[in-house]
Amino acid sequence: MNQHLKGSLSTIILKLLHDNGRMYGYEITQKVKELTQDDIQITEGALYPILHKLEAEEVLTAELEKVDGRTRKYYKITPKGNAVAVDRIAELKAFAENLNLILNPKLSLS
């Protein structure tokens, strides 16, 4: 995993679920890979504990579903969790903007 991802991972997961409605773990890893052109690869050891934690906090709910012989665990954001998700996503957006401010500081127009 990209070391800079640390701290932002759970919010990225919330963002994907917020956009896509319903996803399972492996699907989330593939979606992030696709969106970032293989730049960000979420490890399973990071992913699953986050999903379990968000479920325990009742931000997410899960349903098992068997597809083509394999069991998938689909997650979605709960109504209660929606406010949390929206907040964190807004914070992540602000952080991304702050990163841009730091990485591309405006030239002083003297």
DSSP string, the chain: --GGGTTTHHHHHHHHHHHHS-EEHHHHHHHHHHHTTTS----HHHHHHHHHHHHHTTSEEEEEEEETTEEEEEEEE-HHHHHHHHHHHHHHHHHHHHHHHHHSPPPP--
Binding mask 14-53 for DNA (x = CB under 7 A): ----------xxxx--x------------xxxx-xxxxxx
Binding mask 52-81 for a second copy (x = CB under 8 A): ------------------------------
How many residues touch a second copy (CB under 8 A)?
31
Q: Which H helix or E strand runs over 41? A: none
The stretch among 71-79, 81-89, 91-99, 101-109 that binds DNA (CB under 7 A) is: 71-79
Q: Which does 45 bind (CB under 5 to 8 A by kind): DNA, a second copy, none?
A: DNA
For residue 105, the minimal CB distance to DNA (Å) is 20
Among 69, 102, 106, 107, which residue interacts with DNA (rule: CB under 7 A)? 69
Give the CB-side neighbour count of residue 92, counting CA atoms within 13 A.
19
Q: Which does 43 bind (CB under 5 to 8 A by kind): a second copy, DNA, none?
A: DNA
